């Protein structure tokens, strides 16, 4: 009997030992997984904090004002107005380049304002030029300053031309024409300068250009007549005189005593042309 009891106790003891070992294994497994998961979360938080600090620092650095830009970007130099070089034009009558101009008869070439009734003045401010109309149509809002610049250039150029400072006058007229290529009075006056410098081809080009822009503008017709008269080209000179007189009958009075027409002023055609200066029919 005692032998049986000892065997039962031994079996019970072994059973209790196995149960104890199993419970220990089951109890510690979840704790180990929890520790591993907590370490991952902690590491992720550290990475997020470091990334946030880096992003914040970078953003603040971008917001800081840059040093004075003038230290890095030197001021740009505004170029002067570009003056278009005139092409060399050789007419059949000229037959020479600009470096060897034709020899013209001596005589005074008059600026517009010196020819009696013909007065060269800046354009009427109430009549906008082509460039001003274009600016206004495009909504640039620059027509006032643009017109002022053109008028100032024209007055300065005309004053230089009257002082016989032809180089300055030519430069100013070209600057004006860069602003408004269709400013017909500047084109005509530039032709007169070329005429004074014995540059026949250039002068013809400018007078033709002025006529093509404004066909009822008398001055380039009259100046063309004077230019051809200097070369004793009677037919062409009279042609332009007739066209000028059609626009303005006062041309006959201008022509009567104009020294630029002295090479043709004794011809029958010319005398017939000025015959009605005193109101008589030619």
DSSP 230-249: HTT-HHHHHHHHHHHHHH-T
Q: What is the CATH number of the domain that holds 222?
A: 1.25.40
Q: How many domains does the chain have?
A: 2
pLDDT for the residue 43: 86
For residue 153, what pLDDT is reported?
Answer: 94
Instruction: Convert 205-227 to b/e letters by CB count within 10 Å (16 or more is b).
Output: bbbebbbebeeebbbbbbbbbbb
| Domain match, 187 and 219 both | no
Which of 197, 223, 248 is a domain's end point?
A: 197
The more confidently predicted of residues 160 and 8 is 160
Whether 125 and 181 map to the same domain: the answer is yes
Residue 79 located in a structural domain: no
Q: Judge whether 140 lies within some domain.
A: yes
pLDDT tens string 192-226: 999 999 999 999 999 999 999 999 999 999 999 99
Q: In this structure, is residue 19 part of a structural domain?
A: no
Per-residue pLDDT of 60-81, as tens digits, reads 766 644 444 433 343 344 344 3
Q: How confident is the model at residue 133 (pLDDT cuts 50, 70, 90)?
A: very low
> Is residue 34, in this structure, part of any structural domain at all?
no
Choose the final residue of a domain: 166, 197, 228: 197
The residue range of the domain holding 224 is 215-282
Instruction: State the chain's mean pLDDT as an integer.
Output: 73
pLDDT at residue 93 tops 50: no
C-alpha dist (Å) from residue 142 to 134, 139, 156, 242, 260: 10, 8, 21, 41, 42
Q: Give pLDDT, residue 99.
A: 37
CA atoms within 13 A on the CB side of 193: 25
Q: Give the residue from 143, 162, 197 where a domain finishes.
A: 197
Given this model, what pLDDT does residue 278 score?
54
Q: Is 209 domain-assigned?
A: no
pLDDT tens figures, 39-62: 778 888 899 899 888 887 777 766
Count of C-beta atoms within a 10 Å radius of residue 252: 18
| Residue at 24 is within a domain | no
């Amino acid at each position: 009997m005692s032998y049986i009891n000892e065997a039962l106790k031994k079996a019970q003891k072994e059973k209790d030992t196995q149960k104890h070992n199993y419970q220990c294994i089951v109890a510690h497994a979840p704790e180990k997984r929890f520790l591993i998961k907590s370490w991952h979360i902690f590491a992720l938080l550290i990475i997020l904090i470091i990334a946030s600090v880096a992003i914040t620092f970078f953003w603040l650095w971008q917001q800081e004002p840059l040093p004075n830009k003038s230290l890095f970007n030197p001021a740009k130099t505004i170029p002067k107005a570009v003056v278009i070089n005139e092409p060399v034009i050789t007419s059949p009558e000229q037959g020479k380049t600009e470096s060897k101009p034709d020899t013209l008869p001596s005589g005074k070439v008059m600026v517009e304002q010196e020819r009696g009734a013909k007065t060269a003045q800046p354009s009427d401010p109430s009549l906008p030029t082509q460039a001003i109309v274009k600016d206004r149509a495009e909504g640039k809002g620059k027509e006032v300053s643009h017109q002022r610049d053109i008028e100032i250039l024209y007055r300065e150029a005309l004053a230089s031309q009257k002082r016989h400072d032809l180089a300055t006058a030519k430069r100013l007229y070209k600057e004006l024409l860069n602003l408004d290529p269709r400013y017909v009075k500047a084109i005509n006056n530039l032709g007169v300068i070329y005429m004074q410098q014995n540059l026949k081809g250039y002068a013809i080009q400018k007078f033709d250009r002025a006529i093509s822009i404004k066909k009822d503008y008398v001055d380039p017709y009259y100046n063309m007549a004077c230019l051809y008269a200097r070369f004793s080209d009677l037919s062409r000179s009279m042609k332009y005189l007739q066209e000028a007189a059609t626009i303005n009958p006062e041309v006959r009075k201008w022509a009567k005593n104009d020294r630029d027409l002295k090479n043709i002023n004794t011809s029958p055609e010319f005398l017939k042309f000025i015959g009605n200066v005193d109101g008589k029919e030619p």
